[in-house]
Amino acid sequence: MATPVRKSSSYRETYSSSCFLHPLDPLTTEEVELAARLIREHAGPKKFKFNCITLKEPLKSEYLEFCANKNRVPPRQAYATLVMKDTSSVTQCVVSLTHNMGGVVSWEHIPDVVPMLTPEDCSFIEDIARSDETFTKACNDLGITDMSTVCIDAWSIGHDPRWGRDRHLQQGLVYWRPPPAGNQYAHPLDFYIVVDTQTREILSIDTFDCEGGISMHIGFNYREGIVSSDIRIQDQTEHKERTVFYRISLVEMVVPYAHPGFPLNRRHAFNVGKYGLGFSTNLLKLGCDCKGSIRYLDRVLPTSEGSTSTIKNAICIHEEDNGILFKHSELRDQSTVLCRDRKLVISQIVTVGNYEYALYHHFTLDGTYEFKVKLTGILNTSNSKEAMPRYGTKVSDSVVAHNHQHIFSLRVDPAIDGPDSSVSQCDAVAGTVSPTTQADPLGNAFHSQTTILKEAQGVDYCHTSSRTWDIINPNNINPTSGMQVSYKIVNNQCPALLARPGSIIAERAAFARHSLWVVPYRDGEFFPAGRFVPQSGGKAMNPHNNGVTDWIDDKGCIEGTDIVCYIQFGVTHFPHPEDFPIMPAEDVSVVLRANHFFSSNPALWVPQSSD
């Protein structure tokens, strides 16, 4: 049975009893191996492989009870997804890891779903293809005889009606790399392959259509990567620690491509739900990925055999200068007050196919939180003879990079001075409350119009009204302004999903239909596109794979209660030659800023640079 183990490293030692793990710490190697053994014992002769083994976080109520009384430690549990061999059916289970109580707690078969692809699922596709006679002939027809120069990027296939979800599929994007150090993305071949992950066979070779002061707990898991939890800020005026957010993580992203022709129209990657940010995490290097005085955190991930692999330097923690925090120059006596800002940076970098995503959690001295994504890597390319392609850009001879979007979903579980919250939609409105011109003779008046969201729903950004949303605590009043304390969501980088309503992309990526979703908190609801994303078909086709559009069906109350916000942001990318052969980094972000939370500027305690 499991024995108590020493606490793994985290950014802040939040639990004083160092001989035990913090309830939110990722599973240790010993715990992963114990969970795998207990599952095998429970399964008996059934043959399966592990798709994931990860921490099953305690319920929010259990964790808050632990925060109030450190002696009431929630039981350690593991969540696992299993793929049964021969049948390819999916089972999810929960395992107790607590001393003298170890064993499988729940065991549930999930029909009509496909689990996430693991690195092991993606690693064998080149070997299969290079030894396949039909694939070899397709390469030979293009004049390629050395199969070692053929490279294949494994992608989840999306939804393909030829097989549905009866098989676990992936598609291979095929490239040619003649010199060993060459850039294969400059030489895309004109066909894809479809592979069965379970049987490890090529099912089809598809050719292209010729048409056109803060504290937190830092967790990590196979799917979301970095999870920031129990985020608290030290109020220097009130001289107390205040809760801000219970949990923040990137829970999904969709990358739909614009070309309507087969098989290019299958390209709409869900890089969180299909591949996992944890599974895709890079080993970070000092002086390259991060600079300065750095604390690295290693992280352990499960393998399909129930063992573990360790990613060295998976998370980077450091501080950076963040420019001017505040400044004023007094013209009368030439005096200046100036203070520079610092930001705490918690980051990871992931590689998913051709793209790199550098993911940054920023915390600054004025209490602001920013989640930033830097997009770089190499364009996904296709072979084309079009001189002026309608749905993309020619970036090299016979090489086209197609238009696409990146839409991210940030899950924010707020705790603004407590668990109960509401969301107020704020719009700038011209004019006065009174319609008479006498009240506004010069016509310069404008004011803020606020609307409390009362039931679970999705809402959209409005540029003309500079729309923002305040996450408010209805029970706590700012002593200076008399307003309810809040944090403001500033999200003006939220492109509309351009896929046609009712299309397979719009159904699978339903979370991307709105800039913000607000739903009641419910245990177990995390992933807005569903827990099982590969080969999903949307709400109508996957009744067992609930997502955010299911969570609003009952129009649950979101006023003055425990809520969760899903914030969508991103970029629409029309490639250009400057993006090739490798893309300069482009960033996109969403900001959560203190709004009536402090009684005055919270950074007045920071030493000034000049006086």
Compute the average pLDDT of residues 322-334: 89
pLDDT digit string (tens) for 341-360?
989 999 999 999 999 999 99
Alpha helices per DSSP H over 474-590: 504-508, 548-551
75-97 pLDDT tens trace: 999 999 999 887 778 999 999 99
Q: Residue 490, SS3?
A: strand
User: Can you tell me the mean pLDDT for 567-575?
Assistant: 97
Beta-strand (E) ranges in 147-238? 150-155, 169-176, 188-196, 201-207, 214-221, 225-235
C-alpha to C-alpha distances, 243 to 41, 77, 208, 234, 594, nearest whole angstrom: 42, 26, 54, 9, 12
Is 35 within 8 Å of 80 (Cβ atoms)?
A: yes
Chain-wide mean pLDDT for the chain? 89
Domain ranges of the chain: 29-110, 119-207, 214-433+444-595
* Among 34, 611, 517, 586, residue whose Cα is nearest residue 302: 34
Round to whole Å and give the CA distance between 275 and 192: 19
Q: Which CATH number fits domain 214-433+444-595: 2.70.98.20, 1.10.1240.10, 2.60.40.10, 3.40.920.10?
A: 2.70.98.20
DSSP code of 273? Answer: I
CATH tag, 119-207: 3.10.450.40
Q: How many CB atoms lie within 10 A of CB 376?
A: 16
- The span from the CA of 240 to the CA of 365, in Å, is 16
Measure CA 325 to chain center. Answer: 29
User: What's the pTM?
Assistant: 0.85
SS3 65: helix
Q: Which residue has the higher pLDDT, 160 or 310?
A: 310
Dihedral of the alpha carbons of 519, 520, 526, 532, in degrees to the nearest 10: -70
Greater model confidence, 538 or 338: 338
Same topology, domains 29-110 and 119-207? Answer is yes
pLDDT at residue number 4 = 36
How much of the chain exceeds pLDDT 70, in percent? 95
Fold designation for 29-110:
Nuclear Transport Factor 2; Chain: A, (3.10.450)
Place of tokens 């014992």: 41
Cβ 495 vs Cβ 406: under 8 Å: no
Tokens 């086709």 sit at which residue?
541
* pLDDT at residue 9, rounded to an integer: 37
Q: Which two tokens stand for residue 457?
A: 């729903």
Alpha carbon distance 611, 597 (integer Å): 27
Residue 510 sits at φ, ψ, to 5 deg, of -60, -25
Q: Which residues pair with 299 in a beta bridge?
A: 311
How do residues 416-446 score in pLDDT, each as one tens digit?
999 999 999 999 998 876 666 677 888 888 9
On the question of pLDDT at 105 being above 60, the answer is yes
Residue 442 backbone dihedrals phi, psi, to 5 degrees: -95, -5
- State the pLDDT confidence band at 8, using cuts at 50, 70 and 90: very low
Exposure b/e, 520-546, CB count within 10 A at least 16 = b:
bbeeebbbbbbbbbbbbbbbebbeebb
Contact 548, 365 (CB under 8 A): no
